[in-house]
Amino acid sequence: MLKEMLKERNVPQLKTREEMLSLVYTDLFGYMPPKPEKITFEVEEAIIPKFCAGKAVCNRITANCIINGKEFSFPFLATLPTDNKKHPFFIHINFRPDNPDRYMPTEELIDNGFAVLSLYYDDITSDDGDFTNKLAGILYPDGKRNTTDCGKIAMWAWGAQRVLDYAYTIPEKLDLDCATVCGHSRLGKTALLAGATDERFTFSYSNDSGCSGAAIARGTSEGGERVADICRNFPFWFCENYKKYCNNEENMPFDQHYLVASIAPRKVLIGSASLDKWADPLSEMLCCVASSDAFNNGFKYEDRPPQVDDKFFDGDIGYHMRDGQHYFSRLDWQRLIEFINLHR
């Protein structure tokens, strides 16, 4: 059934990882910002006393980067268990700097044996059309972009990769073989791009990322967001070339399965919510099906549209759908932990 739906939508065949990423760069997100010529980290320890009842320490880290010969610094939080063991960890790209946060149940993650490194996306660059501030201002001093220059999503993904650079400085505390990048909505798109373009990430998790994230664009379900919608409201997330496909998805030389498939052979989990029609759960599950052959042990699923409480975790691509609205819930985190523990 689902493969027939993909045929009806005329979804393009998979290509090599290099070919797929090339299209992701030139026609969707733009080319990633360059890696820093130099990066150092300053650590302010234990900024919250007796954090998580003493089970963890919350440190504020400042990343100091040299990019194109210019200085750029940004903060993030590292919440580490205090048991002197090496832990798997999340790099959570978040909408707020809070710890814990309504999208991040920190103590529950610590209790499950994980460390959490959390990045507030606005500390990298603002979520608007201003390309003169923070990282954007360094990349584009005059605030102007060429057609394949990156938008804000690629900059936020770059930030998550710099947080991973920090993780590599404390291998005695973090299990570098179990690094997960995760995010919700636009930051779910960001997590997929960060995972696709940095092979150090073991797991990537996209929660309710929808259009231009984990949802097939061709044949969007009724009530689902289309390329024209997202480019009208948030053109600054993408490269300028992406606008060519407004109301023109059928002529895209790619679809979103190219982004997901570029994560192979590593692991990826896609999360949907039953009432989140705008993110289009059916098209997100179809993206898993379309990406499957890129992985060693692809998507293992029941051949039908997604249902509440679905949990398809046996393959390298996982998919789950919970009841409810657009939100990064505790149940979503629990599903992510379950998927990681099954495959690590």
Catalytic residue among 22, 221, 274, 326: 326
How many CA within 13 A on the CB side of residue 114? 27
C-alpha 30/C-alpha 146 separation (Å) is: 9
Cβ-based neighbour number of residue 146 at 10 Å: 11
Question: Quick one: which H or E segment has residue 164?
Answer: helix 152-167
Beta-ladder partners of 71: 66
C-alpha 180/C-alpha 277 separation (Å) is: 26
Beta-ladder partners of 18: none
Residue 269 DSSP SS3: strand
Catalytic annotation present for 326: yes
Hey, what are 50's tokens?
């007796």
Amino acid at 85: K
C-alpha 267/C-alpha 313 separation (Å) is: 10
DSSP string, 83-135: SS--EEEEEEEESS--SSBTTB-HHHHHHTT-EEEEEEGGGTS-SSS--SSHH
Residue pair 94/328 in contact (Cβ under 8 Å)? The answer is: no
Question: Quick one: which H or E segment has residue 44?
Answer: strand 38-44
Catalytic residue among 118, 126, 185, 209: 185
Q: Going edge to edge, which strands form the sheet with 56-67?
A: 38-44, 56-67, 70-81, 115-120, 87-94, 174-184, 203-207, 267-273, 317-322, 311-312
Catalytic residues: 185, 326
